[in-house]
C-alpha cells in the first residue's frame, strides 16, 4: 500500500501500469481506518486515548469485524507492490527509499504525534497532578523520571508507536522479503531453477479453505499465551500484537505471491463472489449474536477460543478475497479525484488519529448518543485528514515522505 509505486504493478514486459481499482480499494480502506478509530471510545473495551464515553454493542461488533480483516488487507495490498518496486530499483535503492518512506514517519511520529496523544490521556484520565508537557515528555514518555508507585499504565514508560505500528511492521516485513529474495537468488545461482512469473494458478476454494485452516491453527496456538489486544515489544523496537500476526504474515506472503503469479487478474471472480457472500453472512451473524469477548473467550485452551479463532480467520479470508474481487470487478474507473485521494492515503493514515481524538474530546459530555458521536467524529476525521494530508504532501519538506 504505502510505496512510491502505489497503485502500479509491472505488465508482461516489465512496464509499470496503474491499477485504478487498487487505488479505489486503498482509499476505501484508509477511510475505514479513520472510521474504526472514531468508534474506539463508543464500542469496544480496548484501551484508547479517550475514555469514559457511553458505549453501544453495535460499534463493538463493527470494530470486531474491522479488526478481523482490514489490516490484513493492508498488508496484502502493500506486499503486492513490493516485488515490482524491488525489481525496478534494485536492493540498495529500494531499501533506502523504504527507510525514508516508512522509517521517517515512524521515528518522527513517535516523537511528536504519539506523545501529544499520550499527554492528553495523562492529563484527562490518569488522575495525577498536572505537569507541563516538556516534563511529561522526559519523565513519563521517555521514562527518565521515577515510575509512580500507583502507575496506571497501560505500560511504563508511555513511549509507544500508537497507530504507526503498521508502518513499523510493514518495514520489518519488507526487509524480511528482501533478505528472502536475496537468499533465493543465491540458491538459483547454485543450480536451482527459477519459477516463471504467472506459473502457479490462483487459489480456488480448496486453497482458500486450507489458508483459513492454517491461519486458524496458528492463531489459536498463539492466543493461548497472547489474547487479542495484547501488545509486546519485539527486539525492544517492534510494537506487535501476536494474536494477529498469523493473519498479517499470511496476507503479506500472499501479496508477494499474487504479484509473482499475477493472481490479481487471474483470480476467478466467481470464487471471489462466493466468498464475499459468505463474508456478508458471517458479518450479519456477528451483528445478531454480538462479539462480546466473554462469550467467545479471551484465549486459552477451550472450545470458545478455538471457535472464535476459526470464525475470525474465516471472516478475514472471506472479506479480503471478497473485497478484492468486488473492487476489481465493479469499482474499476479512475479519475483525477481518485488519483489525488489515493496519493493522500498514506498521509491520512499517519495524521488522522490526532484529528479523531480532538473531535472525541470536543464531543465528550455533550449529550450525544454513541452512534451520533461516532458518526460526527468519522465525518470530521475523514474530511479533515484528507485535506490536511493533501496540503502537507505539497510542501517541500513533506513531499518525499508523504
Q: What is the pLDDT of residues 6-61, one digit of tens each?
A: 555 544 333 345 689 999 999 999 999 999 999 999 998 889 999 999 999 999 99
State residue 106's pLDDT score.
95
Whole-angstrom distance, CA of residue 69 vs CA of residue 286 = 14
State residue 18's pLDDT score.
64
Task: Work out the pLDDT band at 184, boundaries 50, 70, 90.
Answer: confident
Judged against a pLDDT cut of 90, whether residue 222 lies above it is answered with yes
| Rounded-to-10 torsion of CA 259, 264, 266, 267 | 120
Q: Give CB contacts under 8 A, 24+ apart, made by 360-367.
A: 360/38, 360/41, 360/49, 360/50, 360/53, 361/50, 361/120, 361/124, 364/50, 364/52, 364/53
Whole-angstrom distance, CA of residue 106 vs CA of residue 99 = 10
State residue 197's pLDDT score.
53
State residue 236's pLDDT score.
77
Q: What is the percentage of the chain residues whose pLDDT exceeds 70?
A: 91
More confident residue, 237 or 385: 385
More confident residue, 290 or 252: 252
State residue 196's pLDDT score.
52
State residue 298's pLDDT score.
59
In DSSP terms, which residues pair with 240 in a beta bridge? 232
For residues 316 and 240, the answer to whether their CB atoms sit within 8 Å is: no
From the number of C-beta atoms within 10 Å of its C-beta (0-12, 13-18, 19+), residue 134 rates as exposed
Residues in the chain, overall count? 402
For residues 240 and 234, the answer to whether their CB atoms sit within 8 Å is: yes
* CA 177 from centroid of its chain's CA atoms: 18
Q: What is the percentage of the chain residues whose pLDDT exceeds 90?
A: 73
- Condensed to tens digits (0 to 9), the pLDDT of residues 247-276 reads 999 999 999 999 999 999 999 999 999 999
Distances in Å between the alpha carbon of 43 and those of 121, 339, 359, 376?
18, 33, 16, 15
Q: Is 198 helix (H, G, I), strand (E, B) or coil?
A: coil
Phi-psi region of 143 (alpha: psi -120 to 50; beta: other; left: phi over 0): left
Range in 14-28, 270-284, 302-316 with the lowest mean pLDDT = 14-28
Judged against a pLDDT cut of 90, whether residue 97 lies above it is answered with yes
Positive or negative torsion for Cα 103, 108, 113, 116 = positive
State residue 363's pLDDT score.
96
- Condensed to tens digits (0 to 9), the pLDDT of residues 334-344 reads 899 999 999 99
For residues 228 and 293, the answer to whether their CB atoms sit within 8 Å is: yes
> What pTM value is reported for the model?
0.91
Produce one character per residue of 258-280: b if its CB has 16 or more CB atoms within 10 Å, e if not: bbbbbbbeebeeebbebbbebbe
More confident residue, 183 or 141: 141
State residue 152's pLDDT score.
82
Whole-angstrom distance, CA of residue 402 vs CA of residue 399 = 6
Cell numbers that stand for 402 in this block: 508523504
Range in 121-135, 191-205, 219-233 with the lowest mean pLDDT = 191-205
Amino acid at each position: 500500500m504505502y510505496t512510491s509505486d502505489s497503485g502500479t504493478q509491472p505488465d508482461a514486459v516489465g512496464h509499470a501500469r496503474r491499477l485504478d481499482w487498487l487505488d479505489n480499494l486503498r482509499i476505501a480502506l484508509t477511510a475505514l481506518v479513520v472510521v474504526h478509530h472514531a468508534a474506539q471510545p463508543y464500542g469496544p473495551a480496548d484501551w484508547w486515548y479517550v475514555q469514559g464515553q457511553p458505549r453501544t454493542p453495535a460499534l463493538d461488533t463493527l470494530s470486531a469485524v474491522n479488526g478481523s480483516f482490514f489490516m490484513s488487507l493492508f498488508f496484502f495490498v502493500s506486499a503486492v507492490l513490493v516485488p515490482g518496486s524491488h525489481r525496478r530499483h534494485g536492493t540498495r535503492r529500494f531499501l533506502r527509499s523504504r527507510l525514508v518512506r516508512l522509517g521517517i514517519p515512524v521515528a518522527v511520529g513517535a516523537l511528536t504525534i504519539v506523545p501529544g496523544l499520550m499527554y492528553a490521556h495523562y492529563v484527562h484520565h490518569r488522575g495525577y497532578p498536572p505537569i507541563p508537557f516538556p516534563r511529561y515528555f522526559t519523565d513519563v514518555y521517555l521514562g527518565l523520571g521515577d515510575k509512580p508507585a500507583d502507575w496506571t499504565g497501560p505500560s511504563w514508560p508511555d513511549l509507544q508507536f500508537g497507530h504507526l505500528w503498521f508502518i513499523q511492521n510493514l518495514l520489518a516485513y519488507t526487509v524480511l522479503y528482501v533478505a528472502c529474495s536475496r537468499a533465493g537468488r543465491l540458491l538459483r545461482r547454485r543450480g536451482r531453477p527459477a519459477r516463471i512469473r504467472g506459473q502457479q494458478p490462483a487459489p480456488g476454494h480448496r486453497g482458500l479453505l486450507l489458508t483459513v485452516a492454517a491461519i486458524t491453527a496458528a492463531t489459536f496456538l498463539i492466543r493461548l499465551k497472547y489474547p487479542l489486544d495484547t501488545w509486546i515489544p519485539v527486539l525492544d523496537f517492534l510494537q506487535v500484537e501476536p494474536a494477529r500476526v498469523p493473519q498479517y504474515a499470511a496476507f503479506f506472503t500472499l501479496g508477494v505471491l499474487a504479484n509473482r503469479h499475477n493472481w490479481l487478474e487471474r483470480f476467478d471472480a466467481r470464487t471471489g463472489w462466493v466468498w464475499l457472500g459468505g463474508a456478508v453472512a458471517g458479518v450479519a451473524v456477528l451483528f445478531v449474536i454480538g462479539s462480546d469477548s466473554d462469550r467467545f473467550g479471551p484465549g486459552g485452551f477451550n472450545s470458545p477460543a478455538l471457535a472464535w479463532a476459526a470464525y475470525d480467520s474465516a471472516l478475514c479470508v472471506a472479506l479480503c478475497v471478497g473485497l478484492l474481487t468486488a473492487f476489481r470487478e465493479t469499482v474499476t474507473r479512475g479519475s483525477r479525484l481518485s488519483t489525488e485521494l489515493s496519493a493522500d492515503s498514506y498521509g491520512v493514515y499517519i495524521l488522522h488519529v490526532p484529528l479523531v481524538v480532538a473531535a472525541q474530546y470536543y464531543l465528550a459530555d455533550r449529550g450525544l448518543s454513541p452512534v451520533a458521536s461516532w458518526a460526527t467524529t468519522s465525518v470530521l476525521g475523514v474530511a479533515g485528514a484528507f485535506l490536511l494530508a493533501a496540503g502537507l504532501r505539497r510542501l517541500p519538506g513533506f513531499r518525499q515522505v508523504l
